[in-house]
Chain A
């Protein structure tokens, strides 16, 4: 990874010198080795620039704010394959000024979930270095080595493709490693097999944890409304807190419906949730249904009509089997 990071830096320098870009949206090294943060590097100053096993955050949504002012010049944004899908969506929906952005596709071999490492019992991590797939963890309680493949983010475990979309240039992308361990619909299928009451139980036990921090919404490339209905005093449903279980469900079901057909399955909602609610399962269920009922997700299946599309009455059919 370090080699790749160095090469990316060289690439950035080259693009800056050629006057193609004025600044860079990338990741900045953190305090503990696992906490690299999204950062805008300006004036060619790449101090603390990093691209490491913990660069999981998708940077595409920052482009809404960063591309707004024409006077700022072009911003380079670094995008992993799955990051480009959200980027393409923002572009298609005219949420970004594409002409002010230089999108550079970069290779990805899976990103690590620090919470998974911590849950395995490692405490007091103060420094992390990478040697191929091995992470060397320096901790307050001694040193430890783990294999990064054992602690990948959930979104990486179901990585559906290493396809890049809407990029200006692909950089070293042949170095992408395969990370998918299971089919992305596997978990959805498990849930589909449950009875209605079991499903309800499952979702209640998850959604009751929600603290309504809105991290899932704010990170989502499909949630790009200028003013979210839940922030709008005039909507009648503006809420800062879940007053009861109805509201806990409501927020998530509305959100899932609203991104339905637009969700690119980037997995960010689940990554950012401080309560580890598997939100992606809700969206992925819709993706699966859309695929089965209305056609391929790439073709804006919900926006196009074909005579093969299922009628709404299909719910009676499907409801019977308790799907």
Chain B
């Protein structure tokens, strides 16, 4: 473990960005986003989470895949060969760090998604412990430890210092390249800080969110429960919850005819949308109730059923914070737990 006075954090960013493209959370135009580091970058360290998650780095919202050109009677296919540069994402929270493991299960299962795979290989994840978790956080319900975030490197910001610890081979390599800027430090210097965060996490109102119902009930019974009839009605079907979610993984592939070429792109999709699952015969999920139910069944039942009990939610609280009508996964879990 190493440390550096927090006021010199830009020295750290400088050093990392000399080796690889670096992205840092910043406040910008009334929102919080990742921005490529430049000397003007001001790290928004007191913002817990970016509005959109760090998922974009590995699974971007829109991605061009190929172009088709008609030449006489033949079609030319131009693959979009993107140059993936290596990059590092700084300030990822424990919840988002865990979300990559969930996305891996989808995108790295055979046949692996080549775009995602390459980005995962090229990206270094530098996580930051959460000094002040928010009431919407319930990561601990999924066994996530905000005081000990995973990732290739973990940092802690405490007592005027930033502490740096490499966890993986990738992390060690990056550390090797920049370690001259650091001061030495004792391994146990931040134990107190960790205990403090752990203590705060004990106060999270839904830190022990009760998922027993979803775990123990047969999926067909949950599916046909009348509770869904009550709880979906405020839903606008806007998809905000799916777009801010670090673990939502659905996408659509579409062709756009620009008159000269046809461009094939992939973009995030949302189970909350009316044309999701639309097929030649029509749409099996006709109402918002069915769409709403799908989102939560997937996260809390189907995904764990197919993935050794792992939920497809990391408790980041983004959907809790962003839903315009204040519906969310916590309310859903709660509605069933009282049943």
A→B interface (CB under 8 Å): 30-32, 35-40, 42, 57, 62, 123-126, 139-141, 205-206, 209, 211-215, 217-219, 231, 233, 236, 240-243, 271-276
Which of A35, A123, A219, A243 is the one whose CB lies under 8 Å from B326? A35
State the majority secondary structure of interface residues on A: loop
A41–chain B nearest beta-carbon distance, Å: 9
A125–chain B nearest beta-carbon distance, Å: 5
Q: Is B145 an interface residue (CB 8 A)?
A: no
Ordered by A's residue number, 14 sampled pairs between the chains whose C-beta atoms are within 8 Å are A37-B327, A40-B233, A123-B132, A140-B203, A211-B52, A213-B238, A215-B240, A217-B238, A240-B268, A240-B270, A243-B62, A271-B324, A272-B325, A273-B324
A191–chain B nearest beta-carbon distance, Å: 15
Q: A295–B57 Cα gap in the complex (Å)?
A: 50
Shortest beta-carbon contacts, A-B, top 3: A272-B324, A241-B267, A38-B234
B-side contacts of A206, CB under 8 Å: 29
Within 8 A of A (CB), among B32-66: 33, 48, 51-52, 61-62, 64
Residue of A nearest to B318 (CB): A274
Known A39-B234, A124-B134, A213-B238; judge A274-B322 contact (CB<8 A). yes
B239–chain A nearest beta-carbon distance, Å: 5
Residue of B nearest to A244 (CB): B62
Q: A211–B331 Cα gap in the complex (Å)?
A: 24
Known A30-B331, A31-B330, A276-B31; judge A219-B268 contact (CB<8 A). no
Q: Is B12 an interface residue (CB 8 A)?
A: no
Which of A31, A140, A212 is the one whose CB lies under 8 Å from B200? A140
Known A241-B61, A242-B62; judge A124-B133 contact (CB<8 A). yes
State whether B135 touches A140 (Cβ < 8 A).
yes
Q: A212–B62 Cα gap in the complex (Å)?
A: 11
B→A interface (CB under 8 Å): 29-31, 33, 48, 51-52, 61-62, 64, 132-136, 200, 203-206, 230, 233-234, 236-240, 243-244, 252, 254, 256-257, 265, 267-270, 273-275, 320, 322, 324-327, 330-331, 334
B287–chain A nearest beta-carbon distance, Å: 9
Residue of A nearest to B33 (CB): A209
Besides the known contacts A31-B330, A275-B51, A276-B29, 4 further A-B residue pairs in the complex with CB atoms under 8 A apart: A39-B233, A57-B324, A205-B29, A275-B30
Most chain A CB neighbours (cut-off 10 Å) among B240, B268, B275: B240
Total A-B Cβ pairs within 8 A: 123
Known A218-B236, A243-B62, A275-B31; judge A231-B133 contact (CB<8 A). no
State whether B52 touches A215 (Cβ < 8 A).
no
A-side contacts of B334, CB under 8 Å: 31
B29–chain A nearest beta-carbon distance, Å: 6
A45–chain B nearest beta-carbon distance, Å: 10
A207–chain B nearest beta-carbon distance, Å: 10
A-side contacts of B275, CB under 8 Å: 231, 233
State whether A36 touches B326 (Cβ < 8 A).
yes
B47–chain A nearest beta-carbon distance, Å: 10
Residue of B nearest to A139 (CB): B135
Q: A37–B30 Cα gap in the complex (Å)?
A: 24
State whether A215 touches B324 (Cβ < 8 A).
yes
A-side contacts of B62, CB under 8 Å: 241-243
Known A125-B135, A139-B135; judge A219-B330 contact (CB<8 A). no
A306–chain B nearest beta-carbon distance, Å: 38
Which of B61, B230, B252, B320 is the one whose CB lies under 8 Å from A211? B61
State whether B234 touches A241 (Cβ < 8 A).
no
Q: A6–B175 Cα gap in the complex (Å)?
A: 61
State whether A126 touches B205 (Cβ < 8 A).
yes
A-side contacts of B204, CB under 8 Å: 140
Q: A241–B256 Cα gap in the complex (Å)?
A: 12
State whether A218 touches B238 (Cβ < 8 A).
yes
Q: A126–B136 Cα gap in the complex (Å)?
A: 9
